[in-house]
Structure 1
């Protein structure tokens, strides 16, 4: 009985405070605040009798605990009324307590967390505020980053004006803001053809491709993540990627050993993914850069990297590239030196297999290397067969 009475008292105190709050504003409701609302609220701090400040509704919405709710309610209630309510609650019977629960339930429902769409709209509106502080701009993008992970939320982003707003942040003077904006676009587009199409139609890809060349590594990696998410299994996106010379950006990243290893891994992984997509869409013309010998050599050269993860991703890309119609076995052999590269890698992996820390990983990479070797040999055999047939005919 005591615990139930205490709970009802908390609810009644909160109800009193909410009603008082409603009477003091024109909206007639408790609402979630934007960054601008929070900034204005901070300039309207009112002193209390005990020289302490009582927190308003949590800036992120809702309350972290029942205690937090009670603290807020007490700060918004009349002390005399609180004492009267406490005495009233003590005299309530179990039936009366239950009636009070039902009576207050409707009011408490109005304090529920707003929908994801409402939270997204608040963040989007904040981004549209040109006077927003950099900290609040980052906060809005970080909130969107979490909110767009579910596919249903991502599909609502454009309806709320979010895609245009986030793309606008790609032009911001602050590198961290650009990084976050690219991250949001990539997260929303990942495995989502609907959002891919929307972001491409808004014209984000050219800007993202340029951002991949940023000297700020975090910006470059998040931009490449967004590019990958946009064009994965998306033929139209891949064609635009080629038009924007995205393949040359990948080639530069793969060829330059001084570039951050994370970016190089992402670049060769994207290439392998593009080649795989091409293999699955045999009715489409293969993108021209797949058969460019300088481009192919930049991939083969990665097999000599000291980074095993990068080696593995390069091998996966080569496995897919070797199976394309337009790639030539003799280019891989004579210009790229693939046979020698594969042999050197085999010897290195054998040495790693005797080291306990690297054995399992080396075995896995050797399995892929062996598969690449077999595909390469078959491609060479087909060339030899054609030459024999051609020689007999001639």
Structure 2
């Protein structure tokens, strides 16, 4: 029955819209949020049963992440239906219907509009929050392809999520940032769409939020948006994104999750620079205070953070513009690597941390080798056996 009602609704909407456009009148417009439609293969019953804001399922979606051509409904207002209907109608038939309906009086047109509104209300069309939940479900679907995610921009979907970055509720802002990050991850098409809608500036500001969870999800979105994307990285630097990263890394009281994401992004940015040598290097990579903030992370007791810091240092050392003496004298990289070696040797004695410590020691020694080569000192190159068996020092 609902399919029949929806078909009649869409047909009526097309006629009404065409009539009002031709006659110079306009149907009352609502926010662009009426147009969020990106669900794939769902029945109307699915669209009508999604949770509202405040529901724990809605607000917790994406909390642990890190970190279509077939449109099947999902309109939250009359305007959304009208735009969808007129955009998916045969132009010739639409014109014919419009000419017929022109003969209706103003009162008859108004009556038809009220009938359509009543039908929408009876069908209880899903809200923006419900539609966002549908998007989250689709993004969490491991079988969703890159092409599926690109359809988020159909009918203004991405614009709606970006608009929610300004929501007064930090949980809604956090969720919106996660949706954007998930959608554009390793997807140049969606990265470009989101950039053109001006989301990067908002996300960089959100990273400075007093809400740690919001800041973490915003930084996740920023990383996904600029990864392997030279144009977005240029905008990132223009928006002082490098300063934002340095503030996080140099602040010892920053949440460790922010430290991890920030230094991971640094490593990624430098790797992208190494892959595009013809591109001018950012002065950010030569800033001695920034370099020291990265090296200081190796003193952390968190092994994951230490590993990410080592990868960043390894990449930074390979840049032509970074100076070995700054790493040696100002950053005390040599002393940091020696202290880290002792820490890892101690961890190797523990059965729980032995394997990870061995892998980390291999990476530490690789960084040490690159560092000494950059200094121009002679150092024996470790053999394969040396690198694979650091336990010989015990």
Pairwise TM-score range, normalised by the shorter structure? 0.5 to 0.7
- What is the CA distance between 1:182 and its match in structure 2? 0.9
Q: Is the 8 A contact 2:47 2:131 kept in 1?
A: no
State the partner residue of 2:304: 309
Q: Which whole-Å CA distance do the structure 2 matches of 1:370 and 1:376 have between them?
A: 10
Q: Are residue 142 (structure 1) and residue 94 (structure 2) matched?
A: no
Q: Which whole-Å CA distance do the structure 1 matches of 2:301 and 2:207 have between them?
A: 23
Q: Which whole-Å CA distance do the structure 2 matches of 1:320 and 1:164 have between them?
A: 36
Structure 1 residue aligned with 2:155, among 160, 170, 173?
A: 160
Q: Which whole-Å CA distance do the structure 1 matches of 2:365 and 2:6 have between them?
A: 75
Which residues of 2 match residues 80-229 of structure 1 at below 5 A? 117-118=70-71, 122=74, 136-148=127-139, 150-229=145-224
Deviating beyond 6 angstroms after TM superposition, the runs of 4 or more aligned structure 1 residues are 123-129
- What is the CA distance between 1:142 and its match in structure 2? 2.6
The verdict on how the C-alpha distance between 1:200 and 1:253 changes in structure 2, with shifts beyond 3 A counting, is same
- What is the CA distance between 1:273 and its match in structure 2? 0.7
- What is the CA distance between 1:26 and its match in structure 2? 4.7
Structure 2 residue aligned with 1:344, among 316, 339, 347?
A: 339
Structure 1 residue aligned with 2:364, among 366, 369, 386?
A: 369
The verdict on how the C-alpha distance between 1:124 and 1:164 changes in structure 2, with shifts beyond 3 A counting, is farther
The verdict on how the C-alpha distance between 1:193 and 1:305 changes in structure 2, with shifts beyond 3 A counting, is same
- What is the CA distance between 1:124 and its match in structure 2? 8.2
Q: Is the 8 A contact 2:76 2:127 kept in 1?
A: no
Q: Is the 8 A contact 1:124 1:162 kept in 2?
A: no
- What is the CA distance between 1:245 and its match in structure 2? 1.1
Residue aligned with 2:155, SS? coil
Deviations 1:271-317 (A, max 9, x none): 11111111111111111101111001000000000111100000001
State the partner residue of 1:58: 45
Q: Is the 8 A contact 1:138 1:177 kept in 2?
A: no
- What is the CA distance between 1:144 and its match in structure 2? 1.4
The verdict on how the C-alpha distance between 1:124 and 1:117 changes in structure 2, with shifts beyond 3 A counting, is farther
Q: Which whole-Å CA distance do the structure 1 matches of 2:224 and 2:76 have between them?
A: 22
Unaligned runs of 5+ in 2: 12-32, 35-42, 50-67, 82-125, 379-394
Residue aligned with 2:186, SS? coil
Q: Is the 8 A contact 1:123 1:143 kept in 2?
A: no
Q: Is the 8 A contact 2:76 2:128 kept in 1?
A: no
State the partner residue of 2:256: 261
Q: Is the 8 A contact 2:47 2:74 kept in 1?
A: no
The verdict on how the C-alpha distance between 1:187 and 1:314 changes in structure 2, with shifts beyond 3 A counting, is same
Residue aligned with 1:247, SS? helix
Deviations 1:338-388 (A, max 9, x none): 0100000001111110011111111111111000000000100089xxxxx
Q: Which whole-Å CA distance do the structure 1 matches of 2:329 and 2:240 have between them?
A: 26
The verdict on how the C-alpha distance between 1:137 and 1:362 changes in structure 2, with shifts beyond 3 A counting, is same
Q: Which whole-Å CA distance do the structure 2 matches of 1:202 and 1:373 have between them?
A: 43
Q: Which whole-Å CA distance do the structure 2 matches of 1:24 and 1:280 have between them?
A: 52
Structure ID, larger Rg? 1
Q: Is the 8 A contact 2:325 2:375 kept in 1?
A: yes
Which residues of 2 match residues 314-325 of structure 1 at below 5 A? 314-325=309-320
Q: Is the 8 A contact 2:47 2:130 kept in 1?
A: no
Alignment RMSD: 3.2
The verdict on how the C-alpha distance between 1:117 and 1:255 changes in structure 2, with shifts beyond 3 A counting, is farther
Deviations 1:230-272 (A, max 9, x none): 1100111111111111111111211222222111111111111
Q: Is the 8 A contact 1:124 1:161 kept in 2?
A: no
Q: Which whole-Å CA distance do the structure 1 matches of 2:356 and 2:79 have between them?
A: 45
- What is the CA distance between 1:60 and its match in structure 2? 3.7
Deviations 1:1-34 (A, max 9, x none): xxxxxxxxxxxxxxxxx49x958995499xxxxx
The verdict on how the C-alpha distance between 1:160 and 1:362 changes in structure 2, with shifts beyond 3 A counting, is same
Structure with larger RCO (C-alpha < 8 A, sep 6+):
2
